[in-house]
Structure 1
Amino acid sequence: MTTFTLYELNSLVRQAIENAMDQEYWVEAELSECRESRGHCYMELIQKDERSNTPVARASAKCWKNTWGMLQPHFERITGQPLHAGLKVRLKVYAQFHEAFGFSWIVTDIDPTYTLGDMAQRRQEIIRKLKEEGIFDLQKELTLSPFALNIAVISSETAAGYGDFVNQLADTPFAFRTQLFPAIMQGEQVEQSIITALNAIYQQQNELFALPFDCVVIIRGGGATADLSGFDTLTLAENVANFPLPIITGIGHDRDESVLDMVSHTRVKTPTAAAQFLISNTEKTQHHIEQYEERIAHFVKNKIEVEQLRLANLSERIPPLFSLTRAKQETLLERHLQAILSHLQRRFEKEEHRLDLLEQKVTALDPTLLLKRGYSMTLHKGKLLRDPSQVKSNDELVTRLEKGTIISIVK
């Protein structure tokens, strides 16, 4: 029996594959991995059993730089997102076996319409499940407070859209207060990152001395990627639909609504549009208050005019003998008028005093005051550290001081 070197045997395999599979094929598969290196795209393909979800086939695929440079922008333009793990794709490939690197499929074309169809099917399935669970419209049933000034924001801290949102709210006469709950807004970690932020908001909302939030704003802006797949997941949609506060989304895209947009209380296109929505809500409230003030003043003025006219008519019919009675009635009317005005004045002063107390309470709860007095706060995983048993070796601690922060590692 002839003995071959490994290279010789691999050469025979290569020749056999080249002779038997000398054409291109369209193949449907799911991406279990997708990465770029030096301009080339390397993929891991997988096929799962439809009933058990168990992998029944695997293969490696490569798309060389020259081809990938044309296919990538076309795919992202059509589908609105880049290739990533979990997508179902239809690829045109040919077989290649290399003596040193083994077998792989070489990609020459990608059909974005196939992926679009699969994405649409999955989105419709998510929507169907949400409606079946009876939670699809839960957020729409919530009422946004007319005094929605305390805003919880879920966004990337470095996103340009977040800065635009905060600056636009600050450039108003209204006392908006925002608190950022940082989250990853693109890629595979979007779902869990936003859910973690929602849980943190819910926990703070139920703390004894915390100032309650009026609503939650989820915004995403800036960046070159068009990846929005993380906003089309069942788990994230369920968390948003069941959240007890109105959620406003301003994810910053012009294509069809994501599932997250559909289940939220209000959907706007951009972070700046979200800010404008909140500003308009407050302006509308201010307008109503001004209208009520005008109506009260108008009512009081009409009441005075009616009473004066009534007294004038009575004075014409009452003999001069009863002029004293007229004087008493005028005095009584004046007292009524003074009582009304006094009541309104006390009511306004009471409301102003209540607002001052609220402002003092908010100021007293400001942690920066403690920092200025020489105290410090140590954070562990973004939360205030109260018990040393909560940390372990190599954990990172962040100590906030008046004039900066110190990062330390637990030994």
Structure 2
Amino acid sequence: MNFSVPRPAEGGFSGGDAVLTVTQLNRRVAQLLEEGVPRLWVAGEISNFTRAASGHWYFSIKDEAAAVRAVMFRGRAQAVGFVPEVGGRYEFRVQVSLYEPRGDYQVQVESLRRAGRGDLHEAFLRLRDQLTAEGLIDPARRRPLPALPRVVGVVTSLSAAALRDVLSVMARRAPHVRVVLYPSQVQGRDAVPQLCAALDRAAGRAEVDTLLLVRGGGSLEDLWCFNDEALARRIAACPVPVISGVGHETDFTIADFVADLRAPTPTAAAELCCEDRSQVLGRLLAARALLVRGQRRRLEHANIRLDRARAQLVSPTQRLQMRRQRLEFAARRLQAGLGPLLLERGRRPSDALGRLSAGMNALLQRRHRRLDTVLAAMGALDPHRVLGRGYALVRRGDGMIVKNALDLKIHEPIEIEFGQGRAQAEVTRTDFF
């Protein structure tokens, strides 16, 4: 490969008596490298690979006789679609530069592809960029998975080890969840149409809550059917949430990008599709215990309020008797107070007291008759008098009076109040007239 280094600008490396600092020297060398060496492709083997917490990749590119340090910043690394392996041979698109603080010559990697597979990788990148532009890879498009699916569908080969892994995990973690298989080839020329047909069957039957698209590890060529555009569009359009679990953790396919969730392996896909039954049962038992404790507290408070209300309850007869006593007491006080008042004013006390007494007696008689009428009317409405004729009041456990037999449940405890006493009972049958 031919490239040329430009002549140094005026004031550059022209010699003379100028004295440069180390920083100035390194900056000028870095400028010469970046301007003089164009972006180019370099083939080599990865060694000393480090993935930093920041997301940047640091490694060396080497061949049989030499090595060069390389860095791939996070934004570029995320676009690769897979994590390179130490010892693997790749082709790197690089910009030559200098790390000025140490004066180390290095290359900044803008993209990489597996050596000898550049065409496939380029096709992968083009399709990924196209689907990204259309919004099919937008994370906002992904749908949430159901927390407690009842039926899970699996799209894979009948002979795949991935199917055995998924079934094993489901039997261990969620034996209550039914699994429906939509068989398809997952490798070879006929894999794409069969995978698309399997997704169509799952969407048409509408019998599953979550769909797993799984396959075990393999070479780039083995997994290439999962980089097909038609399959990617089927996954994006599927009305059922799709979990993609294709290959190993370091393998990325277009299906992973358009699925609602990517799992690193088929086993992980089965684990992510539903919660462990023991955890769900544990939460249910805790919720049940909390509910029981709360209901008990409510019943205890209700019983306390009921006891207080019963203690304050006064029958209508007692209430009228108290009113009658207060009225008679007021009449006696009035008679005792009017006598001295009339004597002081020079009136004839005997005549006045006689008229007053007669008037008070007539008033008291009228009030007594009204009280008797009210007492008779209220006595007819007194529930205890009704109970005395053979009727009974039925109350539920919360103290509410039962008016309709349909409000009762079989085996529900009830309390029956008679004219004399109460009884506890249990509902064994209800009839409605």
Q: TM-score, normalised to structure 2's length?
A: 0.44
Q: Which has the higher contact order (CA 8 A, sep 6+)?
A: 1
